[in-house]
Amino acid sequence: MKTKANRRAFISAAGAVAVSARGKEQNMKNTIQIRKAAERGVAEHGWLHSRFSFSFAGYFDPKHMGFRSLRVINDDIIEPAEGFGTHPHENMEIISYVVEGALEHKDSMGNGSVIRPNDVQRMSAGSGVTHSEFNPLKDQPMRLLQIWIKPDKINVEPSYEEKTYTPEHKTNTLKLVASPDGEEGSVSINADTRLYASILEPGAELVKPGDGSRHVWIQVVNGKLTVDGEVLGTGDGAAIENAHDLTFQGLEKSEILVFDLA
């Protein structure tokens, strides 16, 4: 038989466990910092229309210098038969993700190709490379996301890779398209980053597992969805430090990129 003192001790201990459980649940709730599309940097050059998620070129915002190793996400529209002339890069992992139209690429490593929607192109600039990028279409603008990721190692030998991931690969799933080791048929990058692409149908739900040890950036390419109940639309970005499980739900057909970062 429990004494009054024992009962008080039992109730006190049970309350402490309940508080501890509530605290743990609260700690596992993700804090999402949203970068609205309309708040991004803007550059208009006639032939090029750019929106910068992070500081780039003439746009400088000390509050938005990148996120972890993710340094650049430029949402570019290039007018027909226009593009970037030959220019240099070094010590950066550069990913091109074409949304509409086509992008013609040439580089000092001897690569030359035209990439289109569903293609992922990776260039490791390493110790130094030059390249050019043009819209080869005469009657259609093209849109792409230019992504720069800081490498784990500098001055590596430059390299190039491209792969195609069909809508079937990406629909209602998180398809790994870039990783340190080329896992699951992804392109390989010299950084502790995993990039996923997804096409989310209306009403579809996805969960990205997390244990708080990694960090996540979400970029909405097109459409509208919720992330842990927060509404994101075309061009919006979101940063989650120490990410736990994230729930994505499509409000309309949406295409997103999800960066899992060290």
Tens of pLDDT along 40-83? 999 999 999 999 999 999 999 999 999 999 999 999 999 999 99
Specify the pLDDT at position 105: 97
Instruction: Please say if the pLDDT value at position 7 is more than 60.
Output: no
Specify the pLDDT at position 139: 97
- Coil, strand, or helix at residue 181? coil
Average pLDDT score over residue span 15-21: 38
Average pLDDT score over residue span 222-250: 98
Cα–Cα dist 177/217, whole Å: 15
CATH number of 30-261: 2.60.120.10
Specify the pLDDT at position 235: 98
Specify the pLDDT at position 16: 37
Alpha helices in the chain (DSSP H): 4-27, 167-170
> pLDDT tens digits, residue range 165-175?
999 999 999 99
Q: Work out the angle at residue 129's Cα, subtended by the Cα atoms of residues 41 and 161, and round it to the nearest 5 degrees.
A: 85
Q: What is the mean pLDDT of the chain?
A: 92
**Intra-chain end-to-end CA distance of the chain, in Å:** 54
Please give the model's pTM, rounded to 2 decimal places. Answer: 0.89
> pLDDT tens digits, residue range 95-117?
999 999 999 999 999 999 999 99
pLDDT band at 8 (very low <50, low <70, confident <90, very high): very low
Longest dimension (CA), the chain: 89
For residue 4, CA distances in Å to 7, 9, 11, 15, 217 come to: 5, 9, 11, 16, 54
Specify the pLDDT at position 10: 34
Specify the pLDDT at position 28: 77
Cα–Cα dist 102/137, whole Å: 7
Nearest to residue 177, comparing CAs of 115, 247, 112? 115
Specify the pLDDT at position 17: 38
Cα–Cα dist 28/20, whole Å: 12
